[in-house]
Every structure is written in structure tokens, then in C-alpha cells.
Amino acid sequence: MSKLTFNKSNLLYLLDSLSKINDTCILHIKDDEAYAVSISEDASFILWGSISGEFGIETTLNLPSLKKLINALKVSGDETDVTLILNKNNLEYRGDKIKFKYHLYDDGILTKPKTSLEKIQSLSYNIDVDFTKSFLKNLLKTSSMFSDVNKLYINTINGIVTWALQDKTLTNSDTYSFSGNAVDFELDDFILNLDNLRMITLSAEENLQLKINTTYGIGNLSLINGDVSLNYILSSLVK
């Protein structure tokens, strides 16, 4: 029997972010870090999420339902830190008034992501696109006006970053575009699925940066919230 102690708000933030992409995950625990990689069904959207702490053990937790664990933690109490007892096949919480057991899957039931953490960490980027959290929120809000469009095109026109809600594969598709910052690089269409963007858990940071690898058509959005780090990997859709 081992014990794992987490900052409760940080743990909930991490689990909630992962659950938006996939309700199951393999959570890896190291001495000073817990992390998981969650991948969307079409593999175009990946989240590598991690939380720092002092765990003192190395193990893996096969979590069958993140939403169930989130709901159990939310009603467990008002403490800042939450301690979970790691038994052979479950996580156990023993509070003054509330107790619960959350059963784990055995190793091998959950499929490990084909994309390894080492591969994610090895990616490099040659273009940085700056924007704000307020801008992204407004863009997603505006996208609800266009029911036939579920794509965001990011490119440069005359040295200006342009964000366009449209679908060039459709005939007579409506278009709504925003002009961004002046830049010293050229960017051809980098196309994102709006549903993926809606699954991003934004932190308190106002200034954001999308890093893009133009060779492989891959982007990275890194967000920090306290001791939680969220690295979203977004693949450009095929034109």
C-alpha cells in the first residue's frame, strides 16, 4: 500500500483537461511528476499534460473513467491537498465524512498511445504565431454563427497573420476572417479543426503563442497553470 498526495485543484485541472479529449488515460507517476498523453479519435489532437509534486514512488495508474474520478474528488472535501491510497487495484480516499474507492484497470487493458512522449518532446518549431486568450475566445464564439464551417485557416497575407473561419473544400462556403499581427515570415494554410480548439482548457495566461513546424504541419500550444503544464499538439488538416 502506497499513498499519493496531490494539490487537489491542480489534479482536478489536469484530469478535466485530459477528459475533454478522452475519458480514459494512463497516468504515469514519477518521484516529482505525474503525466499522461491523451489523443483524440482522429489522432489530429494530442495533449501531454503533467503536474509536478513530491510523490516518492514510480508507478502507472490505468484510469477507466476520468469523469468518475473527477466527480468523486469534487465531493471529497474542501482540503487543499488530497491523499489517495494506492491499493492493488484501486485508489482509496478516506476522509472524515466521505470515503470512496475508485477501481483501476489492469495493465494492458488500455492501449498505450502510438505517439510516444519522447517523440512529442523531440519536435521542433520554426514559426511562432502570437495571439491572446481573449482573441481565441472571441473567435470560437464567432464560429458558432457558421454552422457549415468547422475549420480555422491560419496564414499570412502581405505580411499579416490572417485567421479565417471557412472551408475551402465546400462550394459557396461562408468566410469570416480576422487580421492579426504583422510578421516577418510567410505561412501557407495551417488548418485546424474547431472542435479540437474547443477542447483546449485555457489557463489564466492572456498572451498565448502557437508554435508551428511548417515541414510536418504540426503546431504546439503550451499552457501553464500553477504546477500543471498542458502541451497541446495540433496537426494541420489536409487541404
> What mean pLDDT, rounded, does the chain reach?
93
Per-residue pLDDT reduced to its tens digit, 84-143: 999 999 999 998 889 999 999 999 999 888 777 888 889 999 999 999 999 999 999 998
30 and 83 together in one domain: yes
How many domains does the structure of the chain reveal?
Answer: 2
104 and 147 together in one domain: no
Kindly state whether residue 17 falls inside one of the protein's structural domains. yes
68 and 154 together in one domain: no
Task: Give the pLDDT confidence score for residue 149 in this predicted structure.
Answer: 84
Kindly state whether residue 238 falls inside one of the protein's structural domains. no
User: Using an 8 Å Cβ cutoff, are 53 and 27 in contact?
Assistant: no
Kindly state whether residue 12 falls inside one of the protein's structural domains. yes
86 and 138 together in one domain: no
Buried residues in 175-214 as b, exposed as e (16+ CB within 10 A): eeeeebeeeeeebeebbbbbebbebbbebeeeebebbbbb
14 and 100 together in one domain: yes
CATH number at residue 208: 3.70.10.10
CA distance 150 to 143: 8
CATH number at residue 70: 3.10.150.10
184 and 210 together in one domain: yes
Per-residue pLDDT reduced to its tens digit, 7-59: 999 999 999 999 999 999 999 999 899 999 999 888 889 999 999 999 989 99
192 and 97 together in one domain: no
User: Of the candidates 108, 138, 167, which is a domain's last residue?
Assistant: 108
Kindly state whether residue 228 falls inside one of the protein's structural domains. no
85 and 173 together in one domain: no
Buried residues in 103-128 as b, exposed as e (16+ CB within 10 A): ebeeeeebeebeeeeeebeeeebebe
Going by the DSSP 8-state scheme, the letter that residue 104 receives in this structure is P
188 and 138 together in one domain: yes
100 and 134 together in one domain: no
In terms of residue numbers, what domain contains 51? 2-108
Q: What is the DSSP string of 115-142?
A: S-HHHHHH---SEEEEEEHHHHHHHHHH
Buried residues in 62-93 as b, exposed as e (16+ CB within 10 A): bbebbeebbebbeebeeeeebebebeeeebbb
Per-residue pLDDT band for 180 (boundaries 50, 70, 90) equals very high
58 and 146 together in one domain: no
- The C-alpha cell 503536474 sits at 51
Kindly state whether residue 190 falls inside one of the protein's structural domains. yes
Per-residue pLDDT reduced to its tens digit, 140-156: 999 888 767 899 999 99
